[in-house]
Amino acid sequence: MTTGLTVLISADLEGISGIVHVTETNPGGYDYERSRKLMTAEVNAAVAGVLDAEPDAVVLVADAHGPYRNLLVEELDQRARLVRGKPRPLGMMAGLDAGADAVLFVGYHARAGSGPAVLAHTMSDAVLEVRLNGRPVGEIGLNAALAGHFGAPVVLISGDDAACAELREFVPGAVTVEVKRALGQAAADVLHPGKAQERLRQAAGRAVQQRGQVQPLVLSGPVEVEVDLYGPYTVDLATLVPGFARAPGARTVTFTCRDMAEAYRGVQLLVQLGQIKPG
């Protein structure tokens, strides 16, 4: 019997077990190819766990790190559908508009300014901090709120201890899978990849079965957004966008959105502007 259940797995790389340094996460960097294999294996563990519990579920995987082209397509579980490449309107959460009933965060990391936390940042090095209605958020909070806008609860996260604690602040009922314990920005006590995958598979099945006990994170509009940016030039560019304004001080851009989907697109735009250098 078909359950009609649709599950979205949003997969990042910094929170995968064994990953501790930026050169392991960037294409062309030291051990990046190994990192891709580890990322694919943890995603496969999550897919398997979901389908162990709900064999007829539709599982969508959003490649959500860097260029969004990291997962090894030929090694991904054939039962899953993959969304890859950028830019795309829902960014790290592509697939939500397919009617996701539950969301899993695999390989996630804590927000910029967290510590100790492995490879903590928020979307890019251009962003120092994001605040929604005055509350600091990273990718975990942003993505959980976007999921909530579509009515989907985030039922699981895997990553280091800081990432797991961060999701619990927003979604207390979510299942957390700690695959490493942070010792600093580029150091951690890590689980063996095989053990991490085993724990993730078991937890993913449990999380989708308990999805009814987890409430989506819903931010009612309007949503006030503040973004502290590293570069003054990026702030200059941002003020050219209608509705974006420079707050007192050189680095903060503010804007007000009707809802979380609009707010998310605004933050995505600022991240892209942060990649432009003065001409």
Binding-site sequence positions: 12, 14, 65, 109, 139
DSSP 103-118: EEEEEE-PPTT-SS-T
Binding positions for Zn(2+) are 12, 14, 65, 109, 139
CB 116, CB 189: distance < 8 Å: no
List C-alpha distances in Å: 224 to 21, 120, 263. 34, 24, 8
Task: Quote the CA–CA distance of 193 and 198 in Å, as a whole number.
Answer: 9
* Burial of 1: CB neighbours in 10 Å, binned 0-12, 13-18, 19+: exposed
Radius of gyration of the chain (CA): 18
Distance from chain centroid for Cα 46: 15
Beta strands in 86-185 (DSSP E): 102-108, 127-132, 135-137, 154-160, 175-184
Question: What are the catalytic residues?
Answer: 121
